[in-house]
Amino acid sequence: MTAALRRVVVRAPGKINLSLGVGGVDEHGYHALATVFQAVDLHETITAERADGMSLEISSDVPGEIPLNGSNLVLRAAELLRTECAVTDGAALHVHKQVPIAGGMGGGSADAAATLVALDRLWGLDLGTERLRQLGGRLGADVPFAMLGHTALGRGNGADLTPLPTRGTWTWLLAVPGGHLSTPQVFRTFDESAERSGRIPPHLPTVDERQLAALARGDLPLLAETLHNDLQAAAFALHPGLEPVVTAAKRLGAPAALVSGSGPTIAVLVEDEAQAQEIAAGLLGEGLVDSCLVVRGAEPGARVLVEE
């Protein structure tokens, strides 16, 4: 245990999936994945202050509702730490959101990751990176990546991570169409479609080695060729507004575009900021998306900004 603090501020990044290979389902209902995550410079910021009880407030740069009940990942992360470490102290928590809500960009996972790191410091628990990552994995498959950040290969349910070397900075246009998609429903639609077509998903999906080479070399045309999401067809089927965005982004000159994670956010790979703005103007002008954000990867994982 280290000396306890009065106030801690931690931020954790949202992510996009540069590839997402989906395999069979395990006994907990989770699919085997081979996915390449990249953290981008949109952050969830958690402020944790000493208090007698537990409380949570939310402020947001992005539209949408976040549940304040027991399904909220900030509260679940706090409760997990209190139970695991027999903590009786409280905390007043504040979340500031930048990551699109329910957009397939891991905003809730970043909330959980930042909360675990902040409360570990505030309560002087000193659990260490590995233990925190393991606890994060119990809250959601993407939580350990929000702690690690940068670019990484995720195997198992997505929580078994290997950092990937990358060269340079990647610029993405995030095209955010209206509406939300439920992650479990997208996975279910994927399973149903595989069943109908008699396609048996691989026991262990693999990642395209060319994508790893493209990232290591900073080779944008090769990366563009290898962006791939097995959930994309399911997301297209559930949300008719998505495929037109991908098609239009490519027509407007993007090297590649795909659904991020389970959607509905579309990640558009671009050469630079100027191309991003041009494509954003086109997509907004055609009324295909509600908003566009230009982001860069790869960002570090959860980190402490203030402790006092």
111, 120, 142, 230: the catalytic one is: 142
CB neighbourhood size of 285 (10 A): 10
CB neighbourhood size of 258 (10 A): 24
* Half-sphere exposure of residue 52: CA atoms within 13 angstroms, side-chain side: 0
Quote the CA–CA distance of 217 and 225 in Å, as a whole number: 14
Quote the CA–CA distance of 262 and 16 in Å, as a whole number: 10
User: Smaller CB distance to ligand C5P: residue 38 or 171?
Assistant: 38
| Residue 160: closest CA among 124, 199, 92, 207 | 207
Yes or no: say if 235 and 185 are a contact pair by the CB < 8 Å rule: no
Nearest distance from C-beta of residue 189 to ligand C5P, angstroms: 11
Nearest distance from C-beta of residue 207 to ligand C5P, angstroms: 14
Nearest distance from C-beta of residue 296 to ligand C5P, angstroms: 24
What Rg do the C-alpha atoms of the chain give, in angstroms?
A: 19
CB neighbourhood size of 303 (10 A): 15
Which spans of this chain sit near ligand C5P (rule: CB under 6 A)?
29-31, 33, 140-142, 157-158, 183-184, 187
Nearest distance from C-beta of residue 32 to ligand C5P, angstroms: 7
CB neighbourhood size of 255 (10 A): 17
Nearest distance from C-beta of residue 17 to ligand C5P, angstroms: 11
15, 97, 120, 230: the catalytic one is: 15
User: Smaller CB distance to ligand C5P: residue 282 or 301?
Assistant: 301
User: Smaller CB distance to ligand C5P: residue 154 or 282?
Assistant: 154
User: Smaller CB distance to ligand C5P: residue 156 or 179?
Assistant: 156
User: Smaller CB distance to ligand C5P: residue 71 or 169?
Assistant: 71
| Residue 229: closest CA among 19, 32, 15, 16 | 19
Nearest distance from C-beta of residue 37 to ligand C5P, angstroms: 12
User: Smaller CB distance to ligand C5P: residue 32 or 46?
Assistant: 32
Catalytic site residue 250?
no
Yes or no: say if 61 and 22 are a contact pair by the CB < 8 Å rule: no
Catalytic site residue 290?
no
CB neighbourhood size of 200 (10 A): 10
- 101-134 core/surface letters (b: 16 or more CB in 10 A; e: else): bbbbbbbbbbbbbbbbbbbbbbbebebeeeebbe
Q: Which residues are catalytic?
A: 15, 142
